Amino acid sequence: MHRIGILIIIFFCTIISSLQAQEFRCAIQVNYQKLQTTTQQYSSGDTKVFESMKQALEDFVNGRRWTNLDFEQHEKLDCSLSLVLTEQSSATDFKGQLQIQLRAPVYNSNYSTGLFNYMENDFQFSYNESQPIDFEANTFYSNLSSTIAYYLYIMLGVYFDSYAPNGGEPFYEMARNISQTAENSGFKGWKNSDGQKSRYWFTENHTNSAYAALHSTYYYYQRLGLDMMTKDQPQARLNIIQALGFLREVHKARTNILSVIQFLDVKISEIISIFTPAPAEEQKQVYEIIREVSPINANKLKGFTTK
């Protein structure tokens, strides 16, 4: 897949099941051990439903084509999906923690960087092992399929934003369409009234023109920053500082938005590693930006102010 291809505006990312050119190489985990400590006991023979759930999720994420772009095997997005079940109220109704993570390789190195890492602590869904996990963009089949598809498109958006200016736009639009379709499903997490960490806000953050600088944050940090580290490290660091400057622009437009918090939560340790050997003036710039955007994370950078 040539990088120029990521500028193509996908015609609403038509969903096509395919056995070739899938976009994700996602490790799936379904952990049901916490059910042993609740009133929803299960017998040893019941564990096959959890094995079936894991296989169904693997088929759903890795065995389906989510865009009309062609991915080579080495270009697939490396991600993980962890589902920790905490309650089972019926044979098909579950509640648990859902964690989604995405990593991307850094050019000309053996290093991979975190792009997205998010956990939902109150994820409710139904799963019937006798039925496939179905999904269509404009139809709500289940909270399980819509939620997983939603996060896949968010990850596609972040990934392509990091490789081209506004490259993730069609994928964020797809996620917004999923969110709007699911809004009246009765499941929590799709409406803006469901709290500051609801799924609604990720798409709002990435499609609201007031936060356009967020897309530049991803691009300057990854493509012009990390990917340039082996070629021109001083310039790469300056580009990462510019990325953080874009993040500050978003913060000034509206404080404490979900995507800014998520970005820094993922990147703060990496930022410390990059700028620990940097000149004091660069460290000061990084500290001042993060102190303004995220005082909690700025506490981790106090060493930058002692030189």
pLDDT tens for 14-41 read: 333 334 558 999 999 999 998 876 555 5
Closest CA to 167 of 202, 219, 203, 217: 219
- pLDDT interval class at 2 (50, 70, 90): very low
112 and 258 fall within a common domain: no
pTM for the full model? 0.90
CA within 13 Å, CB half, 87: 8
Check residues 47 and 219 and name the one with the higher pLDDT.
219
8 in a structural domain: no
151 in a structural domain: yes
- What is the predicted pLDDT for the residue at 167? 96
Q: Are 71 and 156 in contact (CB under 8 A)?
A: no
45 and 137 fall within a common domain: yes
101 and 240 fall within a common domain: no
266 in a structural domain: yes
278 and 191 fall within a common domain: no
106 in a structural domain: yes
- What is the predicted pLDDT for the residue at 11? 37
SS3 91: coil
- 120, pLDDT greater than 80: yes
Check residues 230 and 4 and name the one with the higher pLDDT.
230
- What is the predicted pLDDT for the residue at 233? 97
14 in a structural domain: no
Q: Which of 3-17, 132-146, 228-242, 249-263 has the lowest mean pLDDT?
A: 3-17
- What is the predicted pLDDT for the residue at 133? 95
| Final residue of a structural domain among 173, 207, 241 | 207
Q: Which of 11-20, 122-131, 257-266 has the lowest mean pLDDT?
A: 11-20
- What is the predicted pLDDT for the residue at 41? 53
- What is the predicted pLDDT for the residue at 114? 97
Q: Are 174 and 153 in contact (CB under 8 A)?
A: yes
32 and 155 fall within a common domain: yes
Whole-number percent of the chain with pLDDT over 70: 89
83 in a structural domain: yes
84 in a structural domain: yes
Reported as a single tens digit per residue, the pLDDT across 265-296 is: 999 999 999 999 999 999 999 999 999 999 99
156 and 255 fall within a common domain: no
Domains of the chain: total: 2
Q: Which of 41-45, 242-246, 255-259, 277-281 has the lowest mean pLDDT?
A: 41-45
Q: Are 284 and 301 in contact (CB under 8 A)?
A: no
Which helix H or strand E contains 148, and what residues bound it? helix 143-161
58 and 152 fall within a common domain: yes
Domain that holds residue 235: 225-307
33 and 59 fall within a common domain: yes
Identify the burial level of 163 via C-beta atoms within 10 angstroms of its C-beta, where 0-12 means exposed, 13-18 middle and 19 or more buried: middle
2 in a structural domain: no
| Final residue of a structural domain among 154, 173, 207 | 207
| Final residue of a structural domain among 145, 176, 207 | 207
User: Which sign, positive or negative, has the C-alpha torsion 228, 234, 237, 239?
Assistant: negative
> What are the Cα distances from residue 52, in Å, to 29, 133, 140?
12, 11, 22
185 and 278 fall within a common domain: no
195 and 260 fall within a common domain: no
- 6, pLDDT greater than 50: no
- What is the predicted pLDDT for the residue at 1? 47
- What is the predicted pLDDT for the residue at 5? 42
- What is the predicted pLDDT for the residue at 43? 55
- Radius of gyration of the chain from Cα atoms? 20
203 and 250 fall within a common domain: no
- What is the predicted pLDDT for the residue at 125? 97
The whole-chain average pLDDT of the chain stands at: 90
- pLDDT interval class at 242 (50, 70, 90): very high
Token code pair at residue 246? 């874009």
42 and 127 fall within a common domain: yes
- What is the predicted pLDDT for the residue at 263? 97
- What is the predicted pLDDT for the residue at 80? 98
